[in-house]
Amino acid sequence: MMRKHSSHIEAGSSSCCSGTCYCSKKVKVTICVVIWTVIAVIVALILAVIIKAATLQELFERMELGARDDPVFMSATEQEILERSQRLVDAISYRTISFSGTNLSLEAMTDFGTFLERVFPNLHDSDFVTFTPINTYSRLYRIEGTEKTLNPYLLCAHMDVVPEGDFDLWTHDPFDAGIVTESDGQDYIFGRGAIDDKHAVLGIMEALEYKVVNKEQPKRTFYIGFGHDEEVSGYLGAAEISITLEKMLKDNGEELDFLLDEGMFVVADIIPGINVPLIYIGVAEKGWAVVDLDAEGDQVHSSTPPLESSIGILAHGVANMEDNKQPSMFGKGPEIDTLRYAAPHATFLLKMILGNLWLFSGLVSSALELSSQTDSIQRTTTAVTIFNAGVKENVVPSQAHAVVNHRIHPSDNLEDVLELDRENADRVKVTLRDSFPPSEVSSYSNDVIPFQIVVNSALEVFPDAKPVPGLMVANTDTFHYKNLTDKIYRFTPVYNLPEDIARFHGIDERISVDIYSKVVQFYYRLMVNADFDVKIAPTAQVEVKPEEVEEFLEILEESDYESPINNTDSNLLPLTKVMEESDENSANETDSHLMILQDIPEEPNENPSNETDSGLPPSQDILEEDFDAMPVNETYSDMLPLESAPKDLDLYDLTPEEETFSNRTID
Ligand SMILES: CCCCCCCC/C=C\CCCCCCCC(=O)N[C@@H](CCSC)C(=O)O
């Protein structure tokens, strides 16, 4: 047998089996084919992976909003930066702490409101800014644009903060630290609220105050909402702001285009292999659930402890919850695009992995799990935040109670989360106390102008960072505004390394003077960039210069129209002729108006940043050369048809050309 085997080896040494088996030639060929096929598939896969990595394209394409290469910022001398920083320091000194829904620091909040009015006097005094107190402590501002805009937006922030926690662990007083130079040589504004969220409140106010002082009234109307109880769910602040805002929008014939609230930030060094900072925009937000855990046992003398105490039972349940996490949802939510958008900026090795998530998603999910911060983007998280039991050291207590706070991934659902909780804590009573669902995902494709406005503004202050959409892993006031717009973004341009993320609600919360200056500039640029997309309502009055009135009258004359306007002194052109004509006439009027609106191409202008380029149909070109500075908006097609114009809108019996004129805005 042995001999036979060795002779076979010799005879067949050139075969693919190296002559070590007794297979027939046909089997050998088949095995060869299979082996080579497997090798070929593996080589093809490796090649595909390499080619995909080598050809990864940037997914975010920046839209020109007008001032890309040379954005004009607020003036920021050293003195101005210092004064702005000092105002944030002062803001932090107000202890506007929310302890619970029924325990808010209302006196401090009142003082904080007075402080805002004192340090930003001009905006509070401005003709184009209206302030409405909401539920006494929250604040809603309407900033009237120079145009009657249909698509205002909302900037949000909150004025309350969480308690400082363990005071002794802070290196500086959380409410009275001032500006501190740290060992890295940088100046920091320390204190509770520095990044959550007084930097945003003050940043928005600074930018608006600057615009008011410099007479830079925006073209586009916008709103500012500052809640006073965000840290305890916003039911008294944001929820009430939302109700008032909804009414204001309705009364003004407006629809909220988008909103920007706090949320994610610029983050660096969070994923090994991605060596650029990421502008992480929260395009969706996790849901929230609070679960009570109650265990019972015998209350006995501590000298004769029970086999299992209520504390032991509860501790086991909680430990199980931490060990058996809620399942990964990787690939089912916005986290996948966070990585896809980041991939082109990774090292080549990481590009091969992130560029081929169809192959490596399991590997990536396991890698994300290595850090609690990255893990939070792929699953529902479980945090045990309260654990109470016992009253005396020699009494075994009968009751033990804990609270778990879940943040629910958008692809998860509450029932499944609770089912796993009950499995993990099977001898514990599990009761849902409070919850709200994850948000919808807001659109972030490259043609979504609000997303572009937010990202462009961030890129203007962090030009080397790369934008990525992603999941907001905590919660904000945006939940209360969800019926006002479907474009909700959560971001402030705070720069965080992984160790800084722990400062949110943690110890030594701080923001550098340098980054705070960028926060202020970001809001300023956002207010400028947002003017790019002004959707103008059909107006009853058009502001024109006297010489333009003359031009207009000439056109009227040429068209044999007998104008009732003889007051050319006024720079207001009143359009006061009531449509008293017959039904037939008014129907024609409406038609002609609609014809003009519908003639405008639906597609955005190819060069929307160039306000002097006409995106108008030929019938409107008649006036083109006369009004070079007129903004031509690619969204005319979205304008209200006459039927939805305000009821008291007075209109002339206008020709199409005149209609065109009346519907355009003259700077
Ligand atoms: C690949 C990139 C991974 C990036 C991972 C980022 C991980 C981020 C971790 C922490 C985020 C901190 C967010 C702070 C949010 C501050 C707002 C806040 O505290 N809100 C309260 C509101 C309560 S209302 C129900 C909250 O508790 O969430």
What residue has token string 């009234």? 217
Mean pLDDT of the chain: 84
Asked whether the predicted pLDDT for residue 412 surpasses 90, the reply is yes
More confident residue, 576 or 402: 402
Asked whether the predicted pLDDT for residue 584 surpasses 60, the reply is no
Is the distance from the beta carbon of residue 375 to the nearest atom of ligand 1 less than 6 Å? no
Residue bearing the CA closest to ligand 1, atom 23: 231
Is the distance from the beta carbon of residue 479 to the nearest atom of ligand 1 less than 6 Å? no
What is the band of 543 on the pLDDT scale with cuts at 50, 70, 90? low
CA of 263 to the centre of ligand 1 (A): 6
Write the CA distances from 407 to 25, 49, 264, 379, 475, integer angstroms. 62, 35, 15, 8, 8
Q: What is the pLDDT of residue 21?
A: 62
Question: Is the four-CA dihedral 281, 283, 287, 288 of positive or negative sign?
Answer: positive
What is the band of 596 on the pLDDT scale with cuts at 50, 70, 90? very low
Q: What is the pLDDT of residue 612?
A: 31
Nearest ligand 1 atom to the CA of 274 is 1
What is the band of 452 on the pLDDT scale with cuts at 50, 70, 90? very high
For the chain, the maximum distance between any two Cα atoms, rounded to a whole number of angstroms, is 121
194-223 per-position pLDDT tens digit? 999 999 999 999 999 999 999 999 999 999
More confident residue, 444 or 660: 444
Residue bearing the CA closest to ligand 1, atom 6: 373
Residue bearing the CA closest to ligand 1, atom 3: 374
Q: What is the pLDDT of residue 644?
A: 35
Task: Select, from the ranges 25-34, 566-575, 592-601, 626-635, the one with the highest average predicted confidence (pLDDT).
Answer: 25-34
Is the distance from the beta carbon of residue 271 to the nearest atom of ligand 1 less than 6 Å? yes
Asked whether the predicted pLDDT for residue 261 surpasses 50, the reply is yes
Residue bearing the CA closest to ligand 1, atom 25: 233
643-659 per-position pLDDT tens digit? 333 333 333 333 344 34
What is the band of 537 on the pLDDT scale with cuts at 50, 70, 90? confident
Is the distance from the beta carbon of residue 365 to the nearest atom of ligand 1 less than 6 Å? no
Nearest ligand 1 atom to the CA of 436 is 25
DSSP 535: P
More confident residue, 508 or 562: 508
Share of the chain above pLDDT 70, in %: 79
Is the distance from the beta carbon of residue 435 to the nearest atom of ligand 1 less than 6 Å? no
**CB of 382 closer than 8 Å to CB of 273:** no
Residue bearing the CA closest to ligand 1, atom 20: 475
All CATH 3.30.70.360 domain ranges of the chain, comma separated, are: 284-436
Is the distance from the beta carbon of residue 436 to the nearest atom of ligand 1 less than 6 Å? no
Nearest ligand 1 atom to the CA of 407 is 28
Asked whether the predicted pLDDT for residue 619 surpasses 80, the reply is no
Write the CA distances from 89 to 80, 84, 182, 185, integer angstroms. 14, 9, 16, 19
Give the global pTM: 0.79
ipTM value? 0.97
Write the CA distances from 457 to 172, 367, 389, 515, integer angstroms. 32, 32, 50, 14
All CATH 3.40.630.10 domain ranges of the chain, comma separated, are: 78-270+442-531
The count of C-alpha atoms lying within 13 angstroms of the C-alpha of 25, restricted to the half-sphere facing its C-beta, is 2
Cα 578–chain centre separation: 45
Asked whether the predicted pLDDT for residue 28 surpasses 80, the reply is yes
Closest CA to 225 of 265, 191, 190, 256: 256
Query: 512-532: string of b/e by CB count within 10 Å (b at 16+)?
Result: bbebbbbbbbbbbbbbbbbbb
Q: What is the pLDDT of residue 557?
A: 72
Structure tokens at 609: 């940043």
Query: What mean pLDDT do residues 367-374 have?
Result: 97
Active site residues: 160, 230
Q: How many CB atoms lie within 10 A of CB 567?
A: 10
What is the band of 477 on the pLDDT scale with cuts at 50, 70, 90? very high
Tell which CATH architecture fits domain 78-270+442-531.
3-Layer(aba) Sandwich (3.40)
Is the distance from the beta carbon of residue 274 to the nearest atom of ligand 1 less than 6 Å? no
Q: What is the pLDDT of residue 193?
A: 98
The CATH number for 284-436, chosen from 1.10.3720.10, 3.30.70.360, 2.40.40.20, 1.20.1630.10, is 3.30.70.360
- Which amino acid makes up residue 452? Q
Asked whether the predicted pLDDT for residue 564 surpasses 60, the reply is no
CA of 233 to the centre of ligand 1 (A): 14
Encode 55-110 in three state secondary structure: CCCCCCCCCCCCCCCCCCCCCCCHHHHHHHHHHHHHHHCCCCEEEECCEECHHHHH
What is the band of 294 on the pLDDT scale with cuts at 50, 70, 90? very high
